[in-house]
């Protein structure tokens, strides 16, 4: 422990306190609840959640139009979201399932009448 004599100035005391980690200038760990450090989601987790939602939307839209493109995209995005540990696992799995349905619809239409699209009442 360092004792201070009256001939020390405040800057010397500040340096002594900093070394011991008790002064105002001491380095502190960032507080998670501090308003200066807003709570942010990690970029990889946020991207994975976005991929899960995109897989679901692309798979859903792909059942109606452009299933040759949107089906594989939904499968890939759903798999990437699951690989990156998304918090929206159900949406990622559902997006993959809808992407697979898109490809099944595509295969069925291609074998039935040789077309890549379907029409209602046609």
Q: What is the pLDDT of residues 50-84, one digit of tens each?
A: 999 999 999 999 988 888 899 999 999 999 999 99
Could you tell me if 63 and 81 lie in one domain? Answer: yes
Q: What is the mean pLDDT of the chain?
A: 75
What is the tally of structural domains in the chain?
Answer: 2
In a domain, 24, yes or no: no
Could you tell me if 97 and 109 lie in one domain? Answer: yes
Which residue in this structure is represented by tokens 């792909």?
62
pLDDT for 113: 78
- Burial degree of 58 (CB within 10 A; 0-12, 13-18, 19+): buried
Higher pLDDT, 11 or 46: 46
In a domain, 76, yes or no: yes
In a domain, 9, yes or no: no
In a domain, 27, yes or no: no
In a domain, 78, yes or no: yes
pLDDT for 47: 85
Q: Which residues are CB-neighbours of 114 under 8 A, at least 6 positions away?
A: none
Could you tell me if 91 and 75 lie in one domain? Answer: no
**CA–CA separation, 22 vs 41, rounded Å?**
32
Per-residue pLDDT reduced to its tens digit, 90-105: 999 999 999 999 999 8
Residue ranges making up the domain that contains 60:
55-85
């Amino acid at each position: 422990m360092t004792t201070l004599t009256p001939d020390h100035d405040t800057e010397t005391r500040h340096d002594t306190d900093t070394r011991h980690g008790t002064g105002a200038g001491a380095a502190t760990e960032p507080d998670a609840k501090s308003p200066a450090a807003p709570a942010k989601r990690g970029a990889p987790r946020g991207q994975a959640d976005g991929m899960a939602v995109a897989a679901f939307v692309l798979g859903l839209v792909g059942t109606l139009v452009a299933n040759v493109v949107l089906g594989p995209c939904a499968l890939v995005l759903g798999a990437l979201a699951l690989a990156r540990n998304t918090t929206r696992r159900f949406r990622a799995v559902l997006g993959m399932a809808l992407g697979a349905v898109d490809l099944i619809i595509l295969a069925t239409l291609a074998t039935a009448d040789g077309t890549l699209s379907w029409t209602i009442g046609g």
